[in-house]
Amino acid sequence: AALESGAIDIVWNLPYEAVEKLKSSRSARVDSVPTPTWDGVILNNKRAPFNDVRVRQALALTIDKAALVELALFGQGAPTHSPIPPSHPYFNKTIGFKAPDIAQAKKLLAEAGYPNGFDVPMQVPHEREQRVRLGVAVRDMAKAAGIRINIERVPFASYSANVTGKAQMFVDGYFARPTVDTAIYPFFHSEGSWNAKLWIYKDERVDQLLDEARRTNADEKRKELFEKYQLLMHETVPGIIAYSAAHVNGVRNEVVNFKSTPMQWLELKDVTVKR
């Protein structure tokens, strides 16, 4: 309301639920940019039942990522396989996003020793409603295969102490990193600092790819390595990287040369205001 009345010129990080309303405004506009910022369902690869890759694959087969973008982000984002977003030149376009396959999910669960599915708690951060929406959507999708998720709201301030690196399954997310290496290596290499606090994932093939990517400066080679990495993410499912979220700002029409940034900085160097 303040933006449309002219009391303020910019709403930084506009709530996604306000985007559609602002699109019809005559006095202000939506300025949006794709980012590598992501939310996801973290699966502890060291704890049952997610220490079995078939269970993780089964969960992934219940998920409609395009629907998650609509339900959690009000459409302001895009499905992805990893922290590499579709807007990045290294994104692997060959993988695609298939419709849920509940029959195959049930088959994998039966092979893993869960013919009747299983019950599992999932923690969501109480004050992060976007991630709560994601958790609720995943819960509802997973039901069809017999994965019965019980959502527990936990204060975000206690996540580090009580949830991260300990829980079987929880929802979390991370802001964009400045390079592909810093977005991937700490999170998915077996010796990565964030990996130890999240999925506790280890795959020698992924380690080799990420180590080799650090040793080469050839862009085409790096693209090839990170495309292979995404294929392994799709195959081994350390967790569910749901989407890359857009960074959206609300801007008065009088504001000139303002551009939203993928790193979510508030860049005002070339901005002027016409009164």
What are 111-126's pLDDT values in tens digits?
999 999 999 999 999 9
Confidence (pLDDT) at 5: 92
What are 5-24's pLDDT values in tens digits?
999 999 999 999 999 999 99
What are 191-235's pLDDT values in tens digits?
999 999 999 999 999 999 999 999 999 999 999 999 999 999 999
3-state secondary structure of 78: strand
Confidence (pLDDT) at 205: 98
3-state secondary structure of 45: coil
What are 225-266's pLDDT values in tens digits?
999 999 999 999 999 999 999 999 999 999 999 999 999 999
132 pLDDT tier (thresholds 50, 70, 90) = very high
Average pLDDT over residues 136-153: 98
Query: Which pairs from 11-18 meet CB under 8 Å and 24+ separation?
Result: 11/249, 11/250, 11/251, 12/249, 12/266, 13/247, 13/248, 13/249, 13/264, 14/248, 14/249, 14/250, 16/73, 16/74, 16/75, 16/76, 16/130, 16/248, 17/74, 18/250
What are 37-82's pLDDT values in tens digits?
999 999 999 999 999 999 999 999 999 999 999 999 999 999 999 9
% pLDDT > 70, the chain: 100
Q: CA 13, CA 33: separation in Å to the nearest integer? A: 11
Decide the pairing of beta strands 255-256 and 272-273: antiparallel
Q: CA 27, CA 87: separation in Å to the nearest integer? A: 29
Confidence (pLDDT) at 160: 86
Kindly tell me if the per-residue pLDDT of 27 is higher than 90.
Answer: yes
Q: CA 44, CA 50: separation in Å to the nearest integer? A: 6
Of 184, 222, 187, 214, residue with least CA distance to 85: 184
Residue 174: DSSP 8-state: E
